[in-house]
Every structure is written in structure tokens, then in C-alpha cells.
Structure 1
């Protein structure tokens, strides 16, 4: 399945190290799990040291752009203004906004308000109002490497119900992150996220989840948050993916706006919240690359 290399051959990952000093031990573990029937990551999604460093630098820009948004977002601002802030700051820092033109997406950032679950398109006609909650989803290309993270922002006097949704969703991400460990499973993280959301009376969107990211905007695996511990893909050092559950106050059912073919809404019109971080699986645990 994985292809056999000699101990002293160059490692398949492109690190220029000998196989025995690089991925040999990891590959042997992966083969053991595969023989037991587990889903294991394909080699092409495992990042080497040079690639990880490139993704890490991209992530620094992505995080800085979200920090910049946090400093400027306010009631009365249009989502088009947020788009301009993100575009200009990303370019100032040497990056390229990854969403712009991606599969036809027309803007540099996604802005999703209240019952919008994700992929909201910025507009001069959409003005942030007192009591709104908004997800700002930033993605960056830097020297060919991709990063992706998002944050929720509470505008003005947000109701206690909406504030709890925002806070619990962030807690879901933190609890999921704590389950990211080498030789664990993606389902360990997924169940931690789902259990916390349900415990608080919420639901988690099933159709849309996280994804691998780093060399491309969207890579394997698809990351679900309605999974069970001990299932889904084996977590292996070098994997990079997002944790980004979409937590709904009501039903988990969603629909896509037929007008723009991008914006996703809750089926019952109740609010949704999402936080997103980009995570690297390391030899000892995890590293957050963008938040």
C-alpha cells in the first residue's frame, strides 16, 4: 500500500533525509493501523518540515489579518468594508486572499451573520447592526502555502442566548483540539465537539465540515464533527487540517441560497456560530498554525 523503500533510500516526503531517519518508523505504525482496518492518511497529505514552515508563515499572516479585523469591526460597518480591510491587510503583509476567485467566489473573505452558517458574501448593502453575531473567515496564500481560520464577533449589545452560542462554539473547538494527538483518530476530536454542543442544547451541521489545508486550499480529509471516538482517519504527525464546527441554535439542517449559490443558512432561521483554527499534528500532540 505504502510502497517499500530501503532504510538508506531518500525519504519519499522530499526532506532529503534517509528514510530510516525520517518516515520509516511512522510508516510502519501506519501499516499496522491499516491492517487493523482503520482509515489511514495518504502520503501526499503529510507535510515535511519545509512545507510546515511555509504553512506556519502563511498562518502568521492569516492570524494577523484577523487581529486587524478585531481592531476595526464595529456597528454600522458594511461587510464590504470588512472585505476591503482583509484584502488590503493581506496584501500589505505579502499574502494573497485565497477566497478571491476560488471556484468563482467574488470576494476576499466570507462574512456570515446570525442565521448565515458560512460562505456569506460581503456587500455594501449589508450593515452590521447592534445585536448581530458575525463570523469572519479569512484564508491566505503566502509563497504558495495556504492558511485558514475564522472568528466570531459580537456587535454591540448581543442577547445572552446568542452570546452563549458563540462561547459554547469556541469551547467546542477547544475541547476538540485537546483530542488531537498522534495515533489517535479524527473521530476522537469529532465526538468531543459534538458532545459539548449537544450538552448545551445545540446541533452541529453535518454536510459541511473542516478539511485538510496547506499545499492547497482544500485537501483530504473531510473533517466531520458528528463522528465517534476511535473512528475516522488516523491522526499522524504531519497532517494539517481545520477544526471549524458550525453549531446551530436549532436544527442542524441547512440550505444554500439559490441567489448567490454560496451563502449557507439554517433551515429554521435560528442563529449559527463557527470558530475555525488550523492545526498541525506533531510527534507529541498538536500545534495551532492559524487562529
Structure 2
């Protein structure tokens, strides 16, 4: 699951500072679980939010009004023949994807399974308390725990991927991931993390990340990213891959390969002393050479006993990430790559689903990495997929 640390540009349409990376978050959006509502300062915030001033009723506050899905009327044109419906019918979707509600009930985790601190409230208290601290150096015992949780994550991802085919709903894949996770005595990390309602993130076609599993059936020609995260023995593991659904077009193959190959190049430079800012320098040239763009609003992240920790790892070149890798550090690299030249995104009113601004397809691959004395160990590495390489 991508880091949701504040690496979003200022959301004010009238920003006079060039829409820089911003850290002032709208408190109402945070409470509602809406992601990406950041402003570079009080001036931009007040001009775009009714939280503090009544002068902008038609701008930012509309997001607050539509975040709770409405119930459909009997004659609602957004009701599908099977009884599912699009709860955001007036929303200006950028591509062909639409949500298909109702969502299934929240899945149950047995009481005997240890769980992280945010399960009841949705608030990752430990993450908030430790925000801004330097990356942790894990002890040898903690490194072994990370190897174990990441191995379990790889098993679950491979199992979920085996069910990818036309006609399968994303809700069914969520059920597969949920059951496989608790069967291993683990907790599905996304479940109620900052209010996220499901046990896995499933992102299809133009959805970049954080897609919510629902009643939509996979269709021939789709691509789907499966982002598995789990909490086991006090540690989180995190990985994802993008898969074709049946036969896909050349553009879909291209964007999947761009994400996988750029991640490969980034992993190659990881070793003690390497700079975090250079990861983006390895990723972006690969993506551009393949006619794709690198998403800037989401980052890789440190991972250990916290789901998201320092460092934040941008995937684009000329970023300002600070710090160098040291043995014992554990983090993810997870480039989100868009087809074409646009790296921008929009969020659906559910507050989670991020899609490309132009409706073109996006792909992502993620590994959890451990820096060793001599280099790097990919804790979530899986088999080399023939569809992603020419050899």
C-alpha cells in the first residue's frame, strides 16, 4: 500500500506559490478519510475550504458533501441490471471505470489474531507519534520477522493472482486475500487503516492505486494491480504486482513492463550509502523511454512494526528526498507508472481511489527491501514473469 504521507502538491486552484509539495492537511478531509487534501499554507487553505471560512462554498467543501455514498433511487439511471449501482453518478470520471456498490460487509478477523493499533479507531497512533523520526535500523531478530511476514505476503499475492480471470469480482479477490491472511495467523494491514474498508487494494485499468474491491467483474483486456499488505508477529509486509486479465493490448503490456523494469533498475542501486533521492533518478528514465510518466503524489515508504514509516521515497527524478541507506533499513519501492505523459491524478469521492487525470492506464509493482551489509535483499521477490520480459 502506497505511503499516504503528505507528498501531494497544493490543491488550491488559485495557489500563488506554484503548487509546491504541501503538508497542511484539511482536518475535515482527514476525519472523513479523504486523501490528498493538502495546502501549502493558510492562505490557500482558507481560500478553498469552508472548514475555516464561508467564502468558498462551491470549491473545496463539495468534496466533504459527496464523500458519503448516497443510496440510489428506484429510477436512478446509475442502477445496473444486476442491482449494483454507481453511488457517485454525478462525478466526472476520467476513464471507463465505475464503482459497483453496495460494498460487502466488513470482513471479520478472529479475536486471537494480533492486530496493529489502528484497528478500532482507524488512526495509526504509533505512526503519527513517530512521524519525522529517522529510519529505523532493525535488529537481526526483527529482520528475520520481516523475512517471515514478507514470505507470507508473497504466498498470498500469488494465490490471489491465480484467481484473476474474466468474470471474477474484485470483492471475491478481497475475500481470497482476507481468508488467506487470517489462515496464516496474520491481520490484513489495509483493513480500517485510516478507515479503508477492505483487506486488499485492487486497482484496475486507469486506477493508479487504492482501488476498493466491489461488485465489478473483471473483463477480458483489463489489467489489475493487487496490493497485499499484512501484519504478522509485530511486523508489516507489503508488495504488489499488476496482472493482465486474459489477452491485453500492447499499451497495457507497455505500461506494465515500464513499471516492472523501472523497479528493477531502482533495486539495482540499493546498497549501503546509496541516496534515497537517487531512486527516482533510476526510475524516471526507464518510464520515459517507454512512453510513460511517473506518478509523483504517492511514495515508497519505510516499513517495519509501522505500516508506513520514514523514509518517504519519491519515484521521480530531481526529488528532494533526504538520507542514505544503511544496513538494517527496510522500505518499499513501488513506482506507479501512467501510460503517456501525464503523471497527474484525481481521487474519486470515496476518498481512496486514485485514477489517472486523462483516463489512460496505469500499472504498479512493489517490493519490500532490506539493506544488508553487502547490498540489498528483496524480501518479497517472486518468480520472473515471462509476460514482462522479452527473453
With normalisation by structure 2, the TM-score equals: 0.62
Deviation at 1:230, TM superposition (A): 10
Give the distance between the partners of 1:155 and 1:101, measured in 2 at CA.
28
Find the partner of 2:196 among 93, 105, 113.
Answer: 105
Match for residue 146 of structure 1? Answer: 236
Find the partner of 2:151 among 54, 57, 60.
Answer: 60
CA contact under 8 A between 1:137 and 1:149: conserved in structure 2? yes
Give the distance between the partners of 2:196 and 2:320, measured in 1 at CA.
36
Q: How does 1:98-177 map to 2 (within 5 A)?
A: 98-124=189-215, 126-177=216-267
The alignment yields a C-alpha RMSD, in angstroms, of: 1.6
Q: Where is the helix percentage greater, Structure 1 or Structure 2?
A: 1
Q: How does 1:1-291 map to 2 (within 5 A)?
A: 45-124=136-215, 126-228=216-318, 232-250=322-340, 251-258=342-349, 260-291=350-381
Give the distance between the partners of 1:169 and 1:278, measured in 2 at CA.
15
Give the distance between the partners of 1:167 and 1:43, measured in 2 at CA.
33
SS at match of 1:290: coil
CA contact under 8 A between 2:135 and 2:309: conserved in structure 1? no
Deviation at 1:232, TM superposition (A): 3.3
Deviation at 1:44, TM superposition (A): 5.5
Per-residue displacement from partner, 1:16-42 (whole Å, max 9, x unpaired)?
Answer: xxxxxxxxxxxxxxxxxxxxxxxxx95
Deviation at 1:60, TM superposition (A): 0.8
CA contact under 8 A between 1:138 and 1:149: conserved in structure 2? yes
CA contact under 8 A between 1:188 and 1:230: conserved in structure 2? no
CA contact under 8 A between 2:279 and 2:314: conserved in structure 1? no
Give the distance between the partners of 2:133 and 2:280, measured in 1 at CA.
20
SS at match of 1:163: helix
Give 5+ residue unaligned stretches, structure 2. 1-131, 382-391
SS at match of 1:45: coil
CA contact under 8 A between 2:135 and 2:329: conserved in structure 1? no
CA contact under 8 A between 2:279 and 2:313: conserved in structure 1? no
Deviation at 1:227, TM superposition (A): 3.1
Give the distance between the partners of 1:43 and 1:271, measured in 2 at CA.
35
Give 5+ residue unaligned stretches, structure 1. 1-40
Greater Cα shift, 77-86 or 50-59:
50-59
SS at match of 2:256: helix
CA contact under 8 A between 2:154 and 2:380: conserved in structure 1? yes
Runs of 4+, deviation exceeding 6 Å: none
With normalisation by structure 1, the TM-score equals: 0.83
Give the distance between the partners of 1:167 and 1:198, measured in 2 at CA.
12
